Amino acid sequence: KAGVTQTPRYLIKTRGQQVTLSCSPISGHRSVSWYQQTPGQGLQFLFEYFSETQRNKGNFPGRFSGRQFSNSRSEMNVSTLELGDSALYLCASSLAGQHPLSTEAFFGQGTRLTVV
């Protein structure tokens, strides 16, 4: 069974540009969540999509947006990049049901974004 796939693995962008990151969840998983990981702030929740709808959103500016397609693949977009957006962006997929066995989040290897 294929795991969570994030592309690209590494990105270097210039301030002011925009960027799109992609996440392909495990087959059958309908929930995709995005997290930003930085040395200073740790792991912070960006948003979650479930069946193409944003189910929850973290405390990030509107420059951060996302979407989910009918095949559950998700993209996140960051517009007008700032130096502080440099981070590891992690995607996680899960069944996200109430049954304990469906609560596990499976993570991708992340996209390392560097803004210069």
Partner 1 sequence: AQTVTQSQPEMSVQEAETVTLSCTYDTSESDYYLFWYKQPPSRQMILVIRQEAYKQQNATENRFSVNFQKAAKSFSLKISDSQLGDAAMYFCAYRGSIYNQGGKLIFGQGTELSVKP
Of residues 39 through 78, those in contact with partner 1 by CB under 8 A are: 42-45, 48, 50, 55-56, 58
109 binds partner 1 (CB under 8 A): yes
Comparing CA positions, the residue from 92, 116, 114 lying closest to residue 105 is 92
Question: Which DSSP letter does residue 110 get?
Answer: -
Tell how strand 87-94 and strand 31-38 pair up: antiparallel
35 binds partner 1 (CB under 8 A): yes
Comparing CA positions, the residue from 4, 54, 1, 9 lying closest to residue 24 is 4
A 10 A CB-CB count for 78 gives: 25
Among 19, 23, 110, 115, binds partner 1 (CB under 8 A): 110
Closest separation between CB of residue 16 and partner 1, Å?
27
CB 77 within 8 A of CB 19: yes
33 binds partner 1 (CB under 8 A): yes
104 binds partner 1 (CB under 8 A): yes
When the beta carbons of 11 and 88 are compared against partner 1, the nearer one is: 88
| Locus of tokens 């392909």 | 24
Interface with partner 1 by CB under 8 A: which residues? 31, 33, 35, 42-45, 48, 50, 55-56, 58, 88, 90, 92, 94, 96-98, 100, 103-107, 109-110
